[in-house]
Amino acid sequence: MLGYKIYFNGDKFVADNTATEVQTMPCDSTVSWMANKTYADNVVEKHNANDLKDVKKCKECGKYFWQTNDERIWFTDRNMKAPCRCYSCRKKKH
């Protein structure tokens, strides 16, 4: 299945101009695929307007990952620091 890759490049979200094979990514990955280029561009615009604050860089592997508002609230409610490692690296620790 082909799709247009959307990803965080370290500064902002961007969408590829060419469709590529869709890949499975970790649940907190900042990479996703959209079947339609117009839809991909709209998602990029939304992410850049609203979601840049939710992107963190993993201190272990250096990949970017999402930190959702719900996750932030969950940690705050428990007086815990928000994770500084992506899901994959956190999973390796256990």
What integer pLDDT is reported at residue 94 of this predicted model? Answer: 62
* Closest C-alpha among 57, 55, 54, 7 to residue 32: 7
- Write the pLDDT tens digit of every residue in 13-35: 999 999 999 988 877 888 998 99
What are the residue ranges spanned by the domains of the chain? 2-93
What integer pLDDT is reported at residue 69 of this predicted model? Answer: 78
What integer pLDDT is reported at residue 70 of this predicted model? Answer: 82
C-alpha 54/C-alpha 85 separation (Å) is 13
In percent, how much of the chain has pLDDT > 70? Answer: 98
pTM of the model: 0.76
What integer pLDDT is reported at residue 53 of this predicted model? Answer: 84
pLDDT lower than 50: segments of the chain: none
